[in-house]
Amino acid sequence: MIRRFFLLIVTLFSFLYSSDLKVISSANKLKLYEKNEWKSLLHFKDELNIKDNNFILSINNFSLKNEMEQTIQGFFEPQSNYENVNQHFQCKFPARFLFIKKELDLKDDIFPKIDCFEFEEYKKKAPSDKIYMVYASENVKNPSSMMGHTFLKFEGKNEQNEIKAHSISFYTTIHTINLFELFYENFISGMEGTFVLRPYKETLDRYIKDEKRNVWEYELNLNSYQQKLLSYHIWELKDVDMKYFFTKYNCSTVLFYTLSLVNPKIYNDEKLWVTPLDITKYLYKYDLIKSSQLIASDGWMNRMLKENFDQNNVDIKSGYYDISDYKSPNKIPDERQIKFSYKKVDDEKYAKISFLPASHLLSDDNREYFGESELKIAYLSLLANENKLDIDEFTLYGMKSLLPYQSLAKDLSYEFEMTFKKDFDTKMNYVNNTRIDGGVGYDFKLSYDMDIYFLLNTGLNHNKEDKLKLIANPKMGLIIYEILNMKSILNYEKFYLETNRVYDKYSLSQDIFFSKNKKIYFDLQRYESTKDKTNLEIGVSFNF
């Protein structure tokens, strides 16, 4: 009897061992570890974005192949090897399990039967009969949401036949107002990332009511396998130590890998810096939208009605208006920008190249936003001539939000900038300045295509001649969208170092848009002071 039992155990382990090797051999022959879906399951792109050894099993000797082999081996381990069965690889990595079975056309009965209680509970409590990608519009006044936010929504019926909806989001919480510390954490050390599943209504109310942001819901066009793969992968990320980086690993990066699971072509279409807007555009580009819906904040709705309807002649309750494609995220120009230009600073002539790794400038075509705005992050421009190469501007962080004032909304306009840039000192020499300044004011819409704004700005400035000084630089401007797809910005600024006037600056910016992502531009700046100066720039700009 004992001998038979022993032989049974040996036979069982031999079967599992041989099955294990056969599956690994088949996977290696097909090089499944090179497939985009496998790389996406690991959030791997040239390097590991997640370095938690509970998620990356081969962390001490990582390769895509080693990770696949160790994962497959774990699928064949008997349940008795685990004190907590929920730690079995079939339970921890159900998306990897599903992917391997589908790619190799494997049946469940070749694997040991594992009771994954917590995973089954997850499927019941967060049903995913429908999966949505949700885009919450940008808020440039808030550093944590200045480029918008993307997250998932799961919707389905639970065991009680009740429709339940949950949001699944990866984000970080900012604990400091120190901008230098914030820069270090966001770009170098990483911040603590949090993966949260909560009732969808709570998330929606926060964006719509508290933060007054618009929300676009896109139901994803997925088959049954794709729905499971996506839903199961979210489970795999729930207890993982994930570092949040503002540029290289954020809410959009997580969704980039998630969407690459259901359409592997997306994996090869990674942007220099994947933004929430990029994620939204992937849905259009790769035909992943089954249906869409805009949920508008009250402020946005008020602006839309005022902009498009004569409130004396229209009864909004009497009809239905489709606003889902009005000021759509898909119509916004791409968020990376490179510019080539000729610049003349008084009598000096330069070639200039400028690069914006993400977001947009005030001079861009901002008609798909409500209100003019600007967001510069790590914006760099260089000047070159036969004698030298120099930095014209490096803006670590700069924002402008010019929301038209309304009796209902009563919005203020804001500006803030941390920059190293060339400007004129008190002797009217064009020198390097380090500047932190900002202000508040009002923007008024004169017509559908014309705004006037006023800003009271102050801050600190340092250069070699003037040292560190308080500055005041109030400004006013006019923004006009014209015929032939043109845009003009007229600006007047008085610049003071403490109580000493340095100059009055008159600026004209003229942009001609040939397409959503291409334009030519002309900038003229006139400085009136003890010595009058004129700067001129002509160039082309490409968004990508």
Span 417-468, pLDDT tens digits: 999 999 999 999 999 999 999 999 999 999 989 999 999 999 999 999 999 9
pLDDT digits (tens, 9 = 90+) for 185-211: 777 777 888 888 999 999 999 999 888
Conformation bin of residue 101: beta by default, left when phi > 0, alpha when psi is -120 to 50: alpha
Mean pLDDT score, 2-10: 47
Residue 513 sits in which domain range? 332-543
> What is the pLDDT at residue 13?
46
Q: What is the pLDDT of residue 316?
A: 47
Whether residue 488 sits in one domain with residue 397: yes
Mean pLDDT across 116-145: 87
Q: Verify that 8 and 54 share a domain, yes or no.
A: yes
**The pLDDT value given to residue 189:** 74
Structure tokens at 222: 């997925």
* H helices present in 213-357, as ranges: 224-236, 251-262, 276-285, 298-308
Same domain, 372 and 518: yes
189 and 64 share one domain: no
Would you place residue 141 in the very low, low, confident or very high pLDDT band (cuts 50, 70, 90)? low
Q: Where is average pLDDT lowest: 81-95, 225-239, 244-258, 493-507? A: 244-258
Q: 515 and 443, same structural domain?
A: yes
Report if residue 310 sits inside a domain. no
Residue that finishes a domain, picked among 116, 138, 156: 116
Rounded Cα–Cα distance for residues 382 and 394 (Å): 9
pLDDT at position 334 = 94
CB 103 within 8 A of CB 32: yes
Q: Which two tokens stand for residue 302?
A: 């008020």
Mean pLDDT of 173-185: 73
* 103 and 156 part of one domain: no
Q: Are residues 130 and 50 in the same domain?
A: no
Q: Residue 537 has what pLDDT?
A: 99
CA torsion angle for 380, 385, 390, 392 (degrees, to 10)?
Answer: -50
pTM: 0.86
Give the mean model confidence (pLDDT) for residues 214-229: 97
Band (pLDDT 50/70/90 cuts) for residue 326 is low
| Confidence (pLDDT) at 126 | 94
User: Quick one: 297 and 182 in the same domain?
Assistant: yes
Of the pLDDT bands very low, low, confident and very high (cuts 50, 70, 90), residue 182 is confident
The CATH number of residue 172's host domain is 3.90.1720
Q: Phi/psi of residue 533, each to 5°?
A: -135, 155
pLDDT at 296: 86
Measure Cα distances from 517 to 281, 335, 336, 338 in Å: 14, 9, 10, 10
CA distances from 20 to 24, 34, 61, 68, 249 (A): 6, 20, 20, 12, 34
**Does any domain span residue 90?**
yes
pLDDT band at 174 (very low <50, low <70, confident <90, very high): confident
Among 116, 136, 170, the domain boundary falls at: 116
Q: Are the C-beta atoms of 539 and 510 separated by less than 8 Å? A: no
Confidence band, pLDDT 50/70/90 cuts, at residue 308: low
* 129: helix, strand or coil: coil
pLDDT mean across residues, the chain? 90
Note the pLDDT of residue 35: 98
pLDDT of residue 248: 85
Do 18 and 100 belong to one domain? yes
Q: Which amino acid is present at 400?
A: K
User: For position 11, what pLDDT does the model report?
Assistant: 43
Least confident range from 74-78, 179-183, 273-277, 376-380: namely: 179-183
| Same domain assignment for residues 130 and 110 | no
Q: How many structural domains is the chain composed of? A: 3
